[in-house]
A and B are shown apart, each in its own frame.
Chain A
Amino acid sequence: MARADLMAAAARHRAALAAAALLVFPLLMPFKAIAVNILVQGLFAVGFNLLYGYLGLLSFGHAALLGSGAYACGIVLVRFGWPWWAALAAGPLGGMAIAAAIGALAIRTRGIYFAMVTLALAQCLYFIAYQATGWTGGENGLRGVNIAAIRLAGLRIDLVDPLHRYYFVAVFVIAALFALSRILASPFGAVMEAVRENEARARACGYDIRTTRWLAFVLSGGFCGLAGALQAIHLGIVPVETLYYTTSGLVVMMTLLGGAGTFFGPFIGAGLFGMLEELVSLWTVHWQLVVGVVFVACVLFFPRGVWGTLLAGRGR
């Protein structure tokens, strides 16, 4: 009984819990840069999960949303010299704009075809970015996304300092998680769930399925775009590979690994994936073999993802 209460409280304050976890997280990691990578990938997976986990739409083109956020932030910073806060805001806006366009086309299709249309459109965007060297740097990537130090409310934040950089990124990721928590608890969140569970009934209840899907896609673009912008600032570059389809594949895998449709799952998937790659590549160049085996084992033995399986085990 007490445990059930505890679980309920945890679910209610999930964003706060995540915030607490993220604040101590860098102390557990071998170095800060990998911790920031996991933050960014985790946010990316959270954005993907909004569409896949809560609406059941499997997109294979989410690289386009991460990439457009990264490029939007990088380009206004490098080419136009915007201040850091405006560049950071350009990330989610860029992600949402591209999501609005891709979503408008893709929501006409369903299932595996939805995945393929999003993949195709994302690949077209990759090609455009690859060719537009004047804006994006092309295959060489966009360099010089460098923000040295910023002053905020009397605080001096030095983004070259690894710990400052981690907490800077973490603040935005935590804010995004709070926003997501609110969205999921809102009437719109309920509609999304209704559409996933039973589309016909949701339609009969008078909900506009297409608009719901499109809005979820755009929101997803906002989260992924913010992740892209944070990644650009963290690494100082935007590699064109950000837009490549392997990035889309990666986010699917991280989300499934952690547990799709759960609040923390995608984040945990991103963290596990990052640490697994990090630790295994320390002792063998054949890290891909271990990663492959872990994936296969996860699918066979933890089909709900690591976090999803833990939750199910607790619920029993």
Chain B
Amino acid sequence: MSGLTPDLLAMQAFTGLALGAVYVLLATGMSLIFGMLTVVNFAHGAFYMLGAYLGLAVLGLTGNFWLALLLAPLAVAALGMLAERTLIRRLYGRGIDYPLLLTFGLAYIIVELVRIVFGTQDLPFDTPDALTGAADIGIGFFPLYRLFVIGVTALVLLALWLFLERTPYGLIVRVGARDPEIVRILGIDIARVWLVVFGIGTGIAGLAGLLAAPLQGASPEMGNSILAEAFVVTVVGGMGSLLGAVAAGLLVGVVVSLTALVAPEMAQVAIFALMAVVLLLRPQGFFGRAGLMS
């Protein structure tokens, strides 16, 4: 390939990081839910898609992107909590198969409801005016909006880390993930912790969907393909590990991006090849606890 300069290589790696940001957000939520509730959430992609559509709805009503950025993830979190409360909660302690099947069905329902309400066609989602254009990042021009996505992701991760490590509530969540029995003995309402964790996880997925919408528009199926990728990231990072989700998300982004330099058509299979190799060498993923879910 001609014109492969160091600048282009650096640009390609940076593009990969930006791409990884959305994976990181999805995998963080998925990993959080899995670590805490041992629910493999097949509806995660549907909540991601909901974020984009609810954002579009807020944008249509108010014309304000920033309001959409705030309200859509909150609304998705509320819907996620509703689903946890009414459906998923009944299945705790029944192994991983049942929640998996239930969330699979739930994803069908959400996607079809969106089709009924918003139509089957893709809807355009305009990049907010303040974030259009490109910025010079030293190695070339990069779309401003993609830089914004990286920034928001970093902020969310920081907030999540502070919440888990620095607040009493976060302490309960962390302990609850390791041993729900202890939390219950201490007289804490574990059901409420689960509810909140599911809300946070789905809310972050909604945020990811909203952030992705200006890049690709909103479509009912947008959650399907990214669900598989988010799974890979979660598993490679180690199920239940937030640090793992971040590291694996960025790694997958960079791997996809560098694959695109050599053989772009292999971008999707590269992710799965990576997962196969990682799992065969280290079955619990990067930061997963060995023995969990075996």
Contact = CB atoms under 8 A, between A and B. Distances in A.
Within the complex, are A and B direct neighbours (CB within 8 Å)? yes
Interface stretch (A17-25, A163-171, A290-298): A290-298
**Which secondary structure characterizes the binding site on chain A?**
helix
Interface stretch (A108-116, A153-161, A180-188): A108-116
Nearest to A295: B105
Contact of B108 (A126, A260, A288): A288
Interface residues of B, number: 41
A123 B94 CA distance: 29
B98 interface: yes
Interface in B226-284: 228, 231-232, 235, 239, 265-266, 268-269, 272-273, 275-276, 279-280, 283-284
B116 interface: yes
B109 A116 contact: no
Contacts of A112: 40, 96, 235, 239, 293
Q: Which of A112, A256, A288, A294 has the most CB of B within 10 A?
A: A112
A293 B109 contact: yes
Given A113-B283, A116-B275, A303-B94, A296 B102 contact: yes
Contact of B279 (A113, A256, A286, A288): A113
Given A120-B276, A296-B105, A110 B294 contact: yes
B9 to A, nearest CB: 25
B184 interface: no
Interface in A45-66: 58
Q: How large is the interface on A (under 10, 10 to 19, 20 to 34, 35 or more residues)?
A: 35 or more
Contacts of A124: 269, 272-273, 276
Contact of A120 (B90, B109, B275): B275
A237 B244 CA distance: 42
Given A111-B293, A120-B273, A303-B94, A292 B102 contact: no
A113 B236 CA distance: 10
B158 interface: no
B283 A110 contact: yes
A277 to B, nearest CB: 11
B115 interface: yes
Interface in B162-218: none
Contacts of A120: 232, 272-273, 275-276, 279
B26 to A, nearest CB: 16
Contact of B112 (A109, A110, A286): A286
A121 B276 contact: yes
B235 A116 contact: yes
Given A112-B40, A253-B104, A289-B113, A296 B283 contact: no
Nearest to B268: A127
Closest 8 CB pairs of A and B: A295-B105, A292-B108, A292-B109, A289-B112, A127-B269, A120-B276, A123-B272, A110-B294
